[in-house]
Structure 1
Amino acid sequence: MSERLAPEQADSLPDIPEPAENVHLVGHDEAACRFATSWRTGKMHHGALVTGPQGIGKATLAFHLAFHMLTQRDRPHAPDTLVPPAAGHPVWRQIASGAHPSVLHLTRPPRDTGGGFKNFITVDEIRRLGHFLSMTSHDGSWRIVIVDAAEQMNTAAANALLKNLEEPPRDTLFVLISHSPGRLLPTIRSRCQVHRLRPLGDDDLMAAMGALSEDVPPDAGARAKLVQLAEGSVRRALLLTRHGGLDVAQAVDKVLDSARFDTGEAIRIGQALAARDAEIALDLFNRHVTDRLGRDAVSAAQAGDTPMANRLAGLWEEARQTIIERETYNLDKRQHVTGLLQRLHGAING
């Protein structure tokens, strides 16, 4: 593990570099070229909304863009794609550590007491913009504000940011990272140029994962299963390999695909996921069963089996509501898992 520079974030993964530290940008060449061209030609829009599923490299792209803008000052002669940072470059180290005077990274702040992080990006975080933007750039460079993730702003924070987007300061770029852009204020979306990033392809996913960790499965079958379940997200691939997600998915599919419901195996899965240290594995279980229902419903519809497609779609909504209720009311985890498996098995095999 290399030296850690970036402060811990609400979504940090142990022993995995933060996006601000990650010198590897994989799979988003088109967006990188688009940003580089805008910079070179002097047509950089003041607001960039970078969207796509969580864990595909949106924030990494934003920090690479910041590095490019701060190091490629001769804009007409800047390259037509983003210059990759070197880990030891002084500008990159400043960006990564949060110490560069021209880069402000706004995320969910730590709780005042008790550890952990607040549930939202608060208005106090957005108010940091006032001081940041009032400072004269020490070397005439642009200032870059990265909001990550933008949909995590509460209402007061979103309205405060909107005021800055409506009257953007000169030579300032706002980069809004969003996993769910539909949750943003329409007025915020309308003031940004949208850059939609796609999930990583299979080869890019494995390349990005290999650049960050040694968790790539050596077995070809396990890699294929990981690619299927990760759906183009490096973050999800890392969670699957580090928290038993592949084993959970295999056990769940075995129960659901068997002709008879294996009560004993369902109970075993439920007991394992009810353990105090299995919260992430439980989240992966919930994601796997809802994803599977969605895929099976689509397959049934494409095959012309409308009754089955409707039944699975209804069960998908029921499962989603069950997951929300368990999290909201802290219901028994073991009963949640075994009950959900039994209902799914009945619908799939009924």
Structure 2
Amino acid sequence: MFERTAPERFDSLPDIPEPSENPILVGHERAAEMLAGAYRAGKLHHGLLFAGPPGIGKATLAFHLANHLFSNPQPEAAPPRFSPPDPTGQVFRLVAQDAHPSLLHLTRPFVERDKKFKTVITVDEIRRIHRFLSLTPHDGGYRVVIVDPADDLNISAANALLKSLEEPPPRTLFVLITHSLGRLLPTIRSRCQIVRLQPLETPELAGLLRRLGADGGGSDEEIAARAQGSVRNAILLSQFGGAEIADVLQKLVTGRNFDAAEALKLGDAVNGRDRDVQFSIFNRTVLDMINERAVALAAAGDARGAAAAADLWDDVTTTIRDAETYNLDRKQHAAGLAAKLNAAFNA
């Protein structure tokens, strides 16, 4: 069984490495080579924005970049490509444990009183950047701030981050992870170099699943094809019942006669404290279905329908956030969203 060394995050999966402790980087060779070359030439932008769908390795690339910088503090002497990090080396272990003095990883904070993670990255987290950057670099090299994902910044936090991006100290690198560029402030986007990362190819993803020993839900190739290039999606499909949840939800949403009893059974499947991952899968699947519908309607020239789907996406996002924030009944939440989508999709 995998033994976690990294701190647990809001989106951690049991027995799956965090990006900071993952020595395997699959895909993104062109982006990695570009970043290594820019660093070697002394032209690395102070703000990088890694953009792409969830679960394709954006955060893993960010930590591999940090390992590259920390292992090669003199840019001109750095190799032209990333080398696979040594899991037994001191740099890798410190980065994995969130203990490297030149790295600050910001994500949703855990609230000890409530025993759960916040649903946003707060301004208090961003204020840690000022304290971090006020310290003298321990080896004169780069200091790296990773915001993961920047989509989760609330307005106050986003504005506070903008101030840090405007005038960063020398040899400071910000890496912002985003699943949706449109959710970020235009002023943040304008101060960063956008690095667009693509979903993994099916053979790449299937090979990674074999290396991870993922099983269940079909062959590696079948799972990879269904996961749309996302490692996280593939793992959720194969190991956490994601395929079954998606199949049941699809039938509920597209059926002309809504099956309330089946919806409540689905609610049972994602209910309970031991079903946090399944509850997250359900919510993500709902949003993905709405997004796919909006894209399809827009492609068909139905601007009004696409706008309605976009409004539904915003409404459901608020509903999901409220359910997480106020610990609402998950069974009723799931059944209610299934009914709402059924009504919207069959209108």
* Structure 1 position 214, deviation (Å): 2.5
* Structure 1 position 11, deviation (Å): 1.4
Name the residue aligned to 2:30: 30
Name the residue aligned to 2:229: 232
State how far apart, in whole Å, the 2-side matches of 1:158 and 1:297 are.
Answer: 27
Superposed counterparts of 1:1-350, under 5 Å: 1-211=1-211, 213-217=212-216, 219-220=218-219, 223-224=221-222, 226-253=223-250, 263=259, 266=262, 269-270=265-266, 272-273=268-269, 275-276=271-272, 277-278=274-275, 280-285=277-282, 287-288=284-285, 291=288, 321=315, 325=319, 328=322, 330=328, 332-333=332-333, 335-336=335-336, 339=339, 343=343
The 10-residue stretch of structure 1 (310-319 or 127-136) with the greater mean CA deviation from structure 2: 310-319
CA contact (8 A) 1:293 1:313 kept: no
State how far apart, in whole Å, the 2-side matches of 1:172 and 1:316 are.
Answer: 37
Structure 1 gap ranges (5+): none
CA contact (8 A) 1:297 1:310 kept: no
Say if 1:324 and 1:46 are closer, same or farther in 2 by CA, change over 3 A: closer
State how far apart, in whole Å, the 2-side matches of 1:301 and 1:157 are.
Answer: 32
TM-score, structure 2 normalization? 0.82
Say if 1:311 and 1:30 are closer, same or farther in 2 by CA, change over 3 A: same
CA contact (8 A) 2:287 2:316 kept: no
CA contact (8 A) 1:45 1:192 kept: yes
Structure 2 gap ranges (5+): none
Say if 1:344 and 1:88 are closer, same or farther in 2 by CA, change over 3 A: same
Letter in 1 for 2:214: D
* Structure 1 position 282, deviation (Å): 4.8
State the secondary structure of the residue aligned to 2:54. Answer: coil
CA RMSD of aligned residues (A): 3.4
CA contact (8 A) 1:127 1:160 kept: yes
Letter in 1 for 2:16: I
Say if 1:234 and 1:300 are closer, same or farther in 2 by CA, change over 3 A: same
Larger Rg: 1
Query: Residue by residue, what CA displacement relative to the aligned partner does 1:54-83 show, whole Å, maximum 9, x if unpaired?
Result: 211111111100111111234334322212
State how far apart, in whole Å, the 2-side matches of 1:223 and 1:17 are.
Answer: 22
Letter in 1 for 2:174: F
* Structure 1 position 105, deviation (Å): 1.2
State the secondary structure of the residue aligned to 1:165. Answer: helix
Say if 1:156 and 1:285 are closer, same or farther in 2 by CA, change over 3 A: closer
State the secondary structure of the residue aligned to 1:20. Answer: helix
Say if 1:333 and 1:274 are closer, same or farther in 2 by CA, change over 3 A: farther
Say if 1:264 and 1:80 are closer, same or farther in 2 by CA, change over 3 A: same
CA contact (8 A) 1:255 1:265 kept: no
The 10-residue stretch of structure 1 (166-175 or 266-275) with the greater mean CA deviation from structure 2: 266-275
Say if 1:75 and 1:326 are closer, same or farther in 2 by CA, change over 3 A: closer
Say if 1:215 and 1:169 are closer, same or farther in 2 by CA, change over 3 A: same
CA contact (8 A) 1:273 1:333 kept: no
State how far apart, in whole Å, the 2-side matches of 1:10 and 1:291 are.
Answer: 19
State the secondary structure of the residue aligned to 2:132. Answer: helix
State how far apart, in whole Å, the 2-side matches of 1:334 and 1:234 are.
Answer: 25
State how far apart, in whole Å, the 2-side matches of 1:155 and 1:319 are.
Answer: 19
CA contact (8 A) 2:150 2:178 kept: yes
Letter in 1 for 2:203: D
* Structure 1 position 2, deviation (Å): 4.1
CA contact (8 A) 1:56 1:235 kept: yes
Say if 1:241 and 1:320 are closer, same or farther in 2 by CA, change over 3 A: farther
* Structure 1 position 173, deviation (Å): 0.9
State how far apart, in whole Å, the 1-side matches of 2:262 and 2:185 are.
Answer: 43
